[in-house]
Chains A and B, each alone.
Chain A
Amino acid sequence: MNDEIAKVKIQKKSIHFIVWLVPLIALVIGGWMLYRYYSRLGPQIQITFENSGGLEPKHSYIKFREVKVGQVERIEILKKGVRVYARVNKDVLPFLNETTKFWIVKPEIGLGKVRGLDALMSGAYIQMSAKLGKGSKFVFKGLEEPPLIQEEKGSTVHLQASSSFALQAGLPVYYKQLRVGAIKKVDLASDGQKVDIYLFIKHPYDRYVNDTSRFWNIRGLTLQLADEGLEVRMGSLSQMLMGGVGFATKDLGQKSHISLKKPFILYPSKSEALQKKLGLPRERFAHFLLDFDAGTGYLGIGSPVRFEGYKVGEVEDVMSFFDIEHTKIDSKVLIRLDLSAFQNSPKTLGIEILAKAVQRGLKAKLEQANPLTKSLFINLVFEGKAGKLEHLSDDLYTLPTLPYQKSKLLEHLDKILAKLENLPIERSLDAFSSLMEKSKEPLRQSLLALRATLDSVHKLLESNETKALPKDLHATLGELRKALQELRLAASGYDANSTFKAQLSQTLQDIDRSAKSLHKVLLKLDKKPNALIFGD
């Protein structure tokens, strides 16, 4: 009996021991879990931002290559900005170095694109971008805006324009109506005058951007009054709603080398971008200060500067003062000239060629662009003596100018029209009828002379030598008047005569025809005023 009890006791002791295995196992499991938790725990990093952008502690995370790699632990308010403490995974440790950038992604919904849609669902988060590098860093300064260079393959193109054309980051970039990239950033340039636009063009397409590329602002609807009539061009609905940037490249054979330093120009429209251009394709602008003493009142800012008909620049500013001594206007006109227009190969320097041209007599001259509106433009012409191109400063030069001559053409035309109006045709016709009663031979001669004159007028109007028109017209009209005077003089000795009557009606028909031709010419002048100068 005693033995049995003893045996039982031993058993019970072993049970006591086994029971204590239970808390031991629990401890082991708990310890293993703790170990796993702490072994996974990466370093804590600090990022300072101007504001937290809606980050929430324990909620917001850090994303790297679209993977959540960390979590915001707490946010501290600093005197200036906030400091975000975040715990990142161990595997991104090698990416925490000087190249690491952090920025806050917030959802953005615009017409162009929905950005950071995931942020809309999850709240703002921190985006991380980094390259593998040496050294480690745990305190960072966050970026307020996404950086321009990202991991996606492609190129960034810098454009400059005088206006943002209401473009926004996120709007698409089209090449041959194909979406090849997006606008990354639109910002005012540091000079406050221009707008910097940065495009991102995706990898295979970025090789189509080179020096011969031209960029333009896509507008949804383009109305153009062309010779053929009204042309309406419309892009796709999305283009119409939001716009974007388009580009075309003239010479695809050229090697692509996009540099951020030399910005491309963003043209307001496609037609302007693809305008024919003198010289090399890529513009290089320099500023010129021109002295004019009159006529600048009709010179608008933005008026073209032309050379042999090509637009090579435009007027940027006109500064005028009234000079009481000489009772005239003193003006300084600032123009922007595209030096590349004077280059014929990339090796030459546009400014040197321009200087040589100035030595051979190139001068700036104010000329009438449109006789009816009196607006002027600056024409670069070879006229007069050799001049000298002066270098004022950095990229400011002067060009010799010619004094403004008010175009005689318009005055002439005015006078002609006034005279035509004042011509006593009615009275003359009245006189004719009475003349017919009296006049005889002298009248016939006069009429012959008149006919000859009219023939010459006719010929003149038919001929395309319109340059000589005003003078000839003047002379012709003088003759016409003379003829009419003769007619009136001769009117006294006329008698009814049937052949003469027929001749007279013939002459009147001639006059009518001439008048119709003149009408045509005037119509043409109305439609295309510079036809007088440049021909039809």
Chain B
Amino acid sequence: MRWLRCPYCGATNDREDRWCGRCALEITLDIQGSLHKSLAYLVTAIIFYIPANLYPILQTTKFSNVEGSTIIGGVIQMWAEGDYPVAIIIFTASVLIPLVKILILLYLIFTIWRRRCKNFGQEILLYHLIELTGPWSLIDVFVVVLLVALIHFQSIAIIPGIGASSFALMVFFTLMASYALDERILGEICER
């Protein structure tokens, strides 16, 4: 393959070029760097995934009685109360999707590392799936932020817990990991 797409402006350049002929930004394919960055961010995301699920995401203070609820706890409570759709949405958005995302990223990194491609179409599809869900990952954090901003009585207060910060960081680092993973490498590997 003799061509290389500029990741910034999309112009097609010669493979041997270091800089994009149109926007003059570096277009070199750095497989090792991409791999390291992506994996490092992913590991960080995994680290934050643990407190995000173990620590309360919300702390409700009701008449001096502090009550924390974790994501799973909230989902279980909603399920028990019969709010099945909401429970499913929260569970999918907050637990399942981040988990699936982490797994997909791990798979893609593994693929690049082994330089073995099963099915190019499948891998690219997975990558685009990650890119697609990226903007929606912070839905939990948005809910917390909204609740904190809206509910502010004297006796009832909602404070974001450690879980919320960890969750936000986890989402941030999965985004970073998918961003660091250059999809051109996938093409490169699968083409061979």
Residues of A bordering B, CB below 8 Å: 12, 15-16, 19-20, 22-23, 26-27, 30, 33, 59, 118, 121-123
Interface residues on B, range: 20 to 34
Assess A121 versus B65: contact at CB under 8 Å? Given A16-B36, A30-B51, A33-B162: yes
Contact A19 B65 (CB under 8 A): no
Contact B32 A16 (CB under 8 A): yes
Assess A122 versus B50: contact at CB under 8 Å? Given A12-B32, A12-B33, A20-B40: no
Determine which residue in A23, A59, A122, A123 has the highest number of CB atoms from chain B within 10 A of its CB, and name it: A23
B57: min CB distance to chain A, Å: 15
Nearest-neighbor residue (CB-CB) of A125 within chain B: B65
Contact A26 B44 (CB under 8 A): yes
Contact A16 B65 (CB under 8 A): no
Contact B44 A22 (CB under 8 A): yes
Q: Note all chain B residues with C-beta closer than 8 A to A22.
A: 40-41, 44, 173
A-B contact pairs, 29 of them (CB 8 A): A12-B30, A15-B33, A15-B36, A16-B32, A16-B36, A19-B36, A19-B40, A19-B41, A20-B40, A22-B40, A22-B41, A22-B44, A22-B173, A23-B40, A23-B41, A23-B43, A23-B44, A26-B43, A26-B48, A26-B169, A30-B47, A30-B48, A30-B50, A59-B65, A118-B64, A121-B63, A121-B64, A121-B65, A122-B65
Q: Note all chain A residues with C-beta closer than 8 A to B51.
A: 30, 33
Nearest-neighbor residue (CB-CB) of B162 within chain A: A33
Assess A27 versus B33: contact at CB under 8 Å? Given A20-B40, A121-B64: no
Assess A122 versus B44: contact at CB under 8 Å? Given A15-B33, A19-B36: no
Contact A19 B37 (CB under 8 A): yes
CA distance A121 to B44 in the complex (A): 41
Residues of B bordering A, CB below 8 Å: 30, 32-33, 36-37, 40-41, 43-44, 47-48, 50-51, 63-65, 67, 162, 169, 173
A431: min CB distance to chain B, Å: 98
Assess A16 versus B33: contact at CB under 8 Å? Given A26-B48, A27-B47: yes
CA distance A123 to B65 in the complex (A): 9
A196: min CB distance to chain B, Å: 36
Q: Note all chain A residues with C-beta closer than 8 A to B44.
A: 22-23, 26
Contact B30 A26 (CB under 8 A): no
Partner of A20, one of B36, B47, B67, B173: B36
Contact B64 A122 (CB under 8 A): yes
Determine which residue in B30, B33, B44 has the highest number of CB atoms from chain A within 10 A of its CB, and name it: B44
B29: min CB distance to chain A, Å: 12
Q: Note all chain B residues with C-beta closer than 8 A to A27.
A: 47
Q: Note all chain A residues with C-beta closer than 8 A to B63.
A: 121-122
Q: Note all chain A residues with C-beta closer than 8 A to B162.
A: 33
Q: Note all chain B residues with C-beta closer than 8 A to A12.
A: 30, 32-33
Q: Note all chain B residues with C-beta closer than 8 A to A121.
A: 63-65
Nearest-neighbor residue (CB-CB) of B166 within chain A: A30
Nearest-neighbor residue (CB-CB) of B28 within chain A: A8
Determine which residue in A12, A22, A26, A30 has the highest number of CB atoms from chain B within 10 A of its CB, and name it: A26
Q: Note all chain B residues with C-beta closer than 8 A to A26.
A: 43-44, 47-48, 169, 173
Determine which residue in A19, A59, A118 has the highest number of CB atoms from chain B within 10 A of its CB, and name it: A19
Q: Note all chain B residues with C-beta closer than 8 A to A30.
A: 47-48, 50-51
Q: Which 10 residue pairs spanning A and B have beta carbons closest together? A: A23-B43, A16-B36, A121-B63, A19-B40, A23-B44, A26-B47, A122-B65, A26-B44, A19-B37, A20-B40
Contacts A19-B37, A20-B40 known; 7 new A-B pairs at CB < 8 A:
A22-B44, A22-B173, A26-B43, A26-B48, A27-B47, A30-B50, A121-B65
